[in-house]
Chains A and B, each alone.
Chain A
């Protein structure tokens, strides 16, 4: 049991840093998607999916790096709030754009049919 805890304590900082780095890379991937996708709705998809996953990964990594339980609790509060408000804000954005008459591109990329611009 002692050796198991010792191995876990030696692996913990490396695992936490790796999770934070994976989350940050996922944030870059989502941003590239937002920059390159052709349409508002596809951009919204890229941003919302990667934001939730990146926040979850980065906060899990920071919880592994945390020195005390109070820090873990604060991280859990931040994660819960992001997990609840991220999809809600995405839904509100898509609903507002749809109600305002913004049409998605239908057809091949590069030659859009029925575009909104």
Chain B
């Protein structure tokens, strides 16, 4: 039954890839990539339990960290066109 869950997650990732490739706006693509990352985290854990090696969860944790930081970095870059901007409210025109 957990194999069926892995197949369902792979199907979900494939369908989300369609939205990531064909999204009309930039934000659709960022949303699709972020949601795809969440599903990949779940798929990594499921594959670990499927093969009897739950050590895959370490990769899962790392992927969760990188996924969140990359989403925020992409959004920050496309708002300010630069990474060298403070995201706190101290600077002019902050978040």
State which residues 42-57 of B face A: CB under 8 Å.
Answer: 42, 45-46, 49, 54, 57
Interface residue count on the B side (C-beta < 8 Å) = 43
A20: chain B residues within 8 A (beta carbon): 1-2, 5, 46, 49
The 5 closest A-B pairs by CB, nearest first: A24-B8, A17-B1, A85-B68, A24-B5, A74-B57
Q: Looking at the assembled complex, report how far the CB atom of A35 sits from the nearest CB atom of chain B, in whole angstroms.
A: 6
Residues of B within 8 A of A (CB): 1-2, 4-6, 8-9, 11-12, 15-16, 18-19, 24-25, 27-28, 30-32, 34-35, 38-39, 41-42, 45-46, 49, 54, 57-58, 60-61, 64-65, 67-68, 71-72, 75, 78-79
A100: chain B residues within 8 A (beta carbon): 27, 78-79
Q: Is A43 in contact with B31, judged by CB distance below 8 angstroms?
A: yes
Residue A113 is within 8 A (CB to CB) of chain B in the complex = no
Q: Is A77 in contact with B61, judged by CB distance below 8 angstroms?
A: yes
A44: chain B residues within 8 A (beta carbon): 27, 31
A23 to B57, CA, bound (A): 17
Taking a contact as CB atoms closer than 8 A, the residue among B4, B19, B30, B41 that contacts A78 in the complex is B41
Interface residue count on the A side (C-beta < 8 Å) = 48
B61: chain A residues within 8 A (beta carbon): 74, 77-78, 81
Q: Does more than half of chain B's interface fall in helix, strand or loop, or is it mixed?
A: helix
Residue A106 is within 8 A (CB to CB) of chain B in the complex = no
B5: chain A residues within 8 A (beta carbon): 17, 20-21, 23-24, 58
Q: Is B1 in contact with A25, judged by CB distance below 8 angstroms?
A: no
Q: Looking at the assembled complex, report how far the CB atom of A41 sits from the nearest CB atom of chain B, in whole angstroms.
A: 9
Q: Is B31 in contact with A47, judged by CB distance below 8 angstroms?
A: yes
Q: Is B38 in contact with A55, judged by CB distance below 8 angstroms?
A: yes
A86 to B29, CA, bound (A): 16
Q: Is B72 in contact with A89, judged by CB distance below 8 angstroms?
A: yes
